[in-house]
Amino acid sequence: MSHALQFYIDGAWVDPAELKRLAVIDPSTEEPCGEIAIGSAEDVDKAVAAARRAFESFSLTSREERLALLRRLQTIYERRLDELGAVISREMGAPLPFAREWQAGIGLRHLKKAIETLETFRFEEPRGTTMVFKEPIGVVGMITPWNWPMNQIMAKVAPALATGCTMVLKPSEIAPLSAILFAEMMDEAGVPAGVFNLVNGDGPGVGEAISRHPGIDMVSFTGSTRAGILVAKGAADTIKRVHQELGGKSANILLPDVDLEAAVTKGVQGCFGNSGQSCNAPTRMFVPADRHDEAAEIAARAASAFKTGPADADGVHLGPVVSQMQYDKIQRLIETGIAEGASLVAGGLGRPDGMNRGYFVQPTVFAHVTPDMTIAREEIFGPVLSILSYESEEDAIRLANDTVYGLAAYIQSGDPARARRVASRMRAGSVYLDYPAWDPGAPFGGYKQSGNGREYADFGLEEFLEIKGVVGYGAA
């Protein structure tokens, strides 16, 4: 990757103000698979200056001009999809078919939805003699995570382009190679100079500089709640808009009339997808108390069906988690679950048998988990499922909502009306009934400490717009 030690600023690949290298580690092997340059506040200053200059003209472009740019990007993205999937697989450990179909593919789905949304989006709305305009907010700082790199990059970049904003992107330094490849696509698509800028770096060096920068009008952040708090504090002095998609500890309620075998099996699969590294994963499974042991047996069988291995191996369901730090955190939480008295029915401490390197975690299921246990309250971000019991529907609702998070909830029932009724009681930004297909048109974001604002489709476009009312516009 020829530009890995450079940044994309003002329409060109440029050297950092001071070259500091950081190795990118392949989590399947624990060996470097590349290296990047780490930026500084000086690099952010250059990128913001370019974005502010570009905003003057890009904010005035027509819908048709922005659609043409997004369609060119779509053509290039489709051509380089396999390459992008391979890069993501290597940098964050996703099995190769999954990395192509979902890790890279979900970015394409977001891009297509942004194009579809822009085609009919209303930027003007008359209200009597007042005209309400929706205008681009300005320069957007974007800070994205490693677990779904292209999902979060495209969920921010596409609507920003669609609305006429300019931007400075800091991807995660743990999985940054896909973002460099994406910047190459943006350059090939002919994005005007300064509209899209990429500065690699860590949170203290580049993330904080973006949050605090007076030349940035909005920060869109996806990551942990802890880091989100720091971003919000950094942004407070300049009163910029802060959009956040943060952590989760999502409940999965299996109501008494459900097909338990199917519901538990699919729940395990949902929890373990992407090696459990999804903020909206259904990690707390609530089952009727009188069927708890049956559910635990089903979950243990389902967990045993998962094949763990290197991202490039055939037939692998679970790749490694992304880093030594993440591996160590998960091991500590598994150990805590055992110490606090939860019943370990699958997996456990250490790597799977036969593996002596790579950040591989055993697919793990705990039963007889109580709401006060650490594993029922903290976001683990690994392939670890907690099974809890409830006595009644009201009990299940109360327990599911008893969390500081509110990103997602899952409801399984043989009665659609009952499922909808329970869904209406969930304090979560997304509720999924009976494991539906992923919908790029559904709003995504959280209640409580899972963040604020929404992404995807028109909800995502709205986040990047300011509202202006021109009173008397329609007066005779």
Of the candidates 146, 168, 173, 145, the one whose C-alpha atom is nearest the C-alpha of residue 157 is 168
| Residue-averaged pLDDT of the chain | 97
Q: Where are the alpha helices (DSSP H) in 29-148?
A: 41-58, 63-79, 81-92, 96-98, 105-120
Of the candidates 293, 303, 287, the one whose C-alpha atom is nearest the C-alpha of residue 385 is 303
Count CB neighbours of 112 within 10 A: 18
Examine domains 7-246+450-470 and 251-441 and report if their fold is the same: no
Residue 19 has pLDDT above 70, yes or no: yes
pLDDT digits over 104-120, tens only? 999 999 999 999 999 99
Q: Which residue has the tokens 């409580």?
A: 448
Q: Which residue has the tokens 């904003």?
A: 165
For the chain, give the longest Cα–Cα distance. Answer: 80
Whole-number pLDDT of residue 475: 81
* CATH topology for the 7-246+450-470 domain: Aldehyde Dehydrogenase; Chain A, domain 1 (3.40.605)
pLDDT digits over 43-57, tens only? 999 999 999 999 999
Q: Which residue has the tokens 């995502």?
A: 460
pLDDT digits over 182-201, tens only? 999 999 999 999 999 999 99
Which CATH superfamily, name and number, covers 251-441?
Answer: Aldehyde Dehydrogenase; Chain A, domain 2 (3.40.309.10)
DSSP 436: P
Contact 285, 264 (CB under 8 A): yes
Cα separation, 242 vs 394, in Å, equals 35
Whole-number pLDDT of residue 231: 97
Residue 228 has pLDDT above 90, yes or no: yes
Whole-number pLDDT of residue 57: 98
Where are the chain's structural domains?
7-246+450-470, 251-441
Tokens matching residue 125: 């709305």
Cα separation, 6 vs 14, in Å, equals 5
Residue 476 has pLDDT above 80, yes or no: no
Q: Which amino acid, one-letter code, is at 199? A: V
Q: Which residue has the tokens 């060109």?
A: 12
Catalytic residues: 245, 279
Residue 2 has pLDDT above 90, yes or no: no
β pairing state of 364-367 and 384-390: parallel
Whole-number pLDDT of residue 288: 98
Alpha-carbon radius of gyration of the chain: 23
